[in-house]
A = this chain, B = another copy of it.
C-alpha cells in the first residue's frame, strides 16, 4: 500500500483508518473474528510492523480486542461509532457542512480591545495584553445558523487588522501565521441568545441555542482562540458515545 502522495500521515495512521473503514463497511458485528495478520499484510501490501502498529491503535480506541493465540475480534463499541462526534476537533465550516448546510459567513464586527478577565485567563495572557474580538454569523441562504464571537491574542496576528480577510476560516488564518489549531477544551449548554444580540441583529426567530464555549490550542498547548459559538437549536444535533 503506497502512502497517499504528499501525506504527512505515517503508514500506521493511514492503515488504522483503512482498517476502521474495512470493519465499518464489512458487515462485521461485535465479536466477529478479523482476518489474521498474515492475511491483512497481504491484503494491504504492508509490512507486519506497520500493520501491528495500526492494529494496536485500533485496540486502544476500542474498535477491536485481542486474544493472544486466538486472534483479533471486532469490539462492541465499534457499533456505537458516530461519524463526527462532538469530541472531533474540526472547523466550524466543516461542522456546519456535516449538519447538511452550505454556510456563508458574515462579519458583524472586528475590534481590538482588552480581554475580560476570564478570557485573559483562558488565553494565558496578562490583563495588559490585547485581544481581537471577531463577531460573525454563519448563514445558510437567508437563515442564520450560528452566532459566533471569537477572541484571539493580538500578538498572534502580525498584520494590521484591516489588512486581514476575516470572513474565512479563523483556524486556517491562524495556521498561515504559524499557529496550527489542533484541539480544544469545551463546555456546552442550552441557552437563549443574549437580548442585545437578538435586538442588534434581528434574531427574534433564532430560538434556543446550543452554546459551545471553547479554548482552542496548538499541539504544543498554546491557547490561540477563545470562542463562544451559539448554534441554532433546530439546525444542529451533536453525537457522541458514552462509555
Contacts and interface: CB of A to CB of B under 8 A. Distances in A.
Given A221-B76, A243-B182, A187 B237 contact: yes
Nearest to A185: B80
Interface stretch (A150-158, A159-167, A189-197): A189-197
Nearest to A81: B185
B185 A82 contact: yes
B188 A221 contact: no
A168 B89 CA distance: 37
Given A57-B56, A86-B188, A238-B188, A243 B80 contact: no
Given A49-B49, A80-B183, A241-B183, A190 B219 contact: no
How many copies the complex holds: the figure is: 2
Given A30-B220, A86-B86, A222-B76, A189 B61 contact: no
Contacts of A103: none
A241 B87 contact: yes
Contacts of A185: 80, 82, 239, 241-242
A77 B89 CA distance: 12
Nearest to A89: B242
B56 A217 contact: no
Which 4 A-B residue pairs are closest in the complex by CB-CB distance?
A: A76-B221, A30-B221, A190-B233, A208-B208
